[in-house]
Structure 1
Amino acid sequence: MRKILFPTDFSETSNNAFVYALKLAENIGAEVITLHVYELPIIDMSYTDVPVYQAEVYESLELNNFENFKDQIPMLRKIAEQHKLDHIKMSNMMLQGDLVTNIIQTVKDEFIDYVVMGTGGATGLKEFFIGSTTASVMTGTNALVLGVPANSQYEPIKKIGFTTQFTIEELDALRKLLPLAKGFKADIECLFVKNGDNEVNEVIIADWKVIFKEEKVTFHIIESKDVEDTIIDFVNLYRINILAMLNQKRSFWEGLFHTSLTKKMAFHTKIPLLALHND
């Protein structure tokens, strides 16, 4: 059975993303593993000569985290029940330490196929639409990572957008997107924004169309100098429910999350971003 890892801090943003995790599990036949990570604060013990005191403080903090974890799990089950998804197999984990490190290690240890996580929160969408945490997970693991904006409300996945420049790497990524699309019985709308600096041989485009002729895949080639606005317009015009991109090197994602495209998407769209990868 496929596995979906759902990191959560039990915030409203995380709970919102939980619905996506459950729906994904239902449509691809997967189980959900929730993961709560907490960090113990650094305590200044310079005013005491009793080492035991420090151990007691940490033990108390760990107990408080565990009690909070125990109290929140029923809330997740309630969300599942409200959406008639309580039949989805679900297990729960709580780990101490760095969030990103624990997510990446859990993906390896549990053979995770997808990571679904909410983005946004206390720092606000303007500064953290996808953000450094999700970006680090996207670039640090081979799992497919779905980042769900805080203002995104789940809608049936009927259209999946895929941005491409018709590279070999993107060809493989598109193939990996097919099972997800088939699980949701969704169409894949591929977008190539032609701006003069990224010419693609027409033969290559024709080859792609032949390769995917039996699939529910459509190719759109739009000439525009404004790539960002073209993507936004495309997402809105075709009512895209998930936008997928190839997971490239770290600098690509970290750059993307600080560009005007990200900010525009944060304010003009409410769709999740799916990071695909190549092995």
Structure 2
Amino acid sequence: MKKILVPTDFSAEAHRAFDIATELAHLSGAEVKLLNVIEVNGTPNFSATGDTMAGGIDQVYMVKLLEVTHGQMQRMLATNRFPDVKITHEVDVDDIFHNIRKTVTDENIDLIVMGTKGADGLNEVLIGSNTEKVVRQAHCPVLTVKSNTEVFNVRNIVFPSNFREESPYVVDVLRYFQNLFNAQVHMVYINTPTTFGTSRESKNRMQDFANRFGLQNYTLNIHNDSVEEDGILHFAEEVNADLIIMATHGRTGFSHLLSGSIAEDMVNHSTLPILTCHIK
């Protein structure tokens, strides 16, 4: 892992994400990029330096907004606890999702770390959370954290799956974080009424999976619950998990509305850090 992106809105959740990103960078030797994107009407008429073209919103307002934002960025940079970590930063005026996707591609980002408040009820159905959209669209792993996430000391990783369709890429990410923290991986299949499988069949499939990818320091687990999301959360609580790593299909549009995504639901509802990876 060489480069970590931290999109920030300077909230408590974003500050915690920056904290954790710098911890990861300190452990891995990566550098961190802090990114703030200002989204306002008429953004094509402004640059991040406050220069204006014809039209758009009032120049004085934009210059003041950029001045405040740069000040917030400097205060966030001052909270870095690891002098050895290289940190760059950028303030831009753009569409946030377009900017994040472009940054990931142009700068070969290996990991995005984002804070999230989550979403529920009608808000979740209509728009979801901003972080959920990044989880769905990003082409690199995304680590999501809440503001109440304590010291990121990972000893127990929960890896929920059906153990049929994971790609080597997802397992590589799992193995990387396991090795980084010398953690134990708890592989778990969530048995629900709609995905029922016998214990013998499920454990054999998990063992075959572990053998195929050469996993080490792991446990095999089957957890019965009514729905997969609840099963993952309940199992994570039982093993005192510090991190959940799981795959997402990254579906968008109508197919996403029909099938949803357990990974995105977990990002919205879990109090634990969630690391999501697209199945490639």
With the length of structure 2 as denominator, give the TM-score of the two structures: 0.80
Q: What's 1:105 paired with?
A: 102
Contact 1:5-1:114 at 8 Å conserved across structures: yes
Question: What is the CA–CA distance in structure 2 between the aligned matches of 1:224 and 1:160, rounded to whole Å?
Answer: 20
How far is the alpha carbon of 1:62 from its aligned partner?
3.3
Q: What's 1:114 paired with?
A: 111
Contact 1:40-1:58 at 8 Å conserved across structures: no
Question: What is the CA–CA distance in structure 1 between the aligned matches of 2:169 and 2:193, rounded to whole Å?
Answer: 25
Q: Of 156, 172, 175, which residue of structure 1 is paired with 2:172? A: 175
Q: What's 2:32 paired with?
A: 32
Contact 1:189-1:219 at 8 Å conserved across structures: yes
After TM superposition, list the pairs within 5 Å mapping 1:1-279 onto structure 2. Answer: 2-41=2-41, 55=55, 57-81=57-81, 85-120=82-117, 131-169=128-166, 172-195=169-192, 197-198=194-195, 199=197, 200=201, 203-211=204-212, 215-250=216-251, 251=256, 254-256=260-262, 265-266=269-270, 270-279=271-280
How far is the alpha carbon of 1:258 from its aligned partner?
8.2
Contact 1:131-1:257 at 8 Å conserved across structures: no
Describe the shift of the 1:232–1:60 C-alpha distance in structure 2 as closer, same or farther (beyond 3 A).
same
2:166 aligns to what SS in structure 1? Answer: helix
Give 5+ residue unaligned stretches, structure 1: 44-51
2:175 aligns to what SS in structure 1? Answer: helix
Describe the shift of the 1:204–1:36 C-alpha distance in structure 2 as closer, same or farther (beyond 3 A).
same
Give 5+ residue unaligned stretches, structure 2: 44-51
2:221 aligns to what SS in structure 1? Answer: strand
2:80 maps to a residue whose letter is A
Describe the shift of the 1:224–1:55 C-alpha distance in structure 2 as closer, same or farther (beyond 3 A).
closer
How far is the alpha carbon of 1:192 from its aligned partner?
0.6
Question: What is the CA–CA distance in structure 1 between the aligned matches of 2:187 and 2:149, rounded to whole Å?
Answer: 22
Q: Report % sequence identity.
A: 26
Contact 1:144-1:276 at 8 Å conserved across structures: yes
Contact 1:160-1:188 at 8 Å conserved across structures: yes
How far is the alpha carbon of 1:225 from its aligned partner?
3.6
2:74 aligns to what SS in structure 1? Answer: helix
Matched pairs, number: 260
1:93 maps to a residue whose letter is E
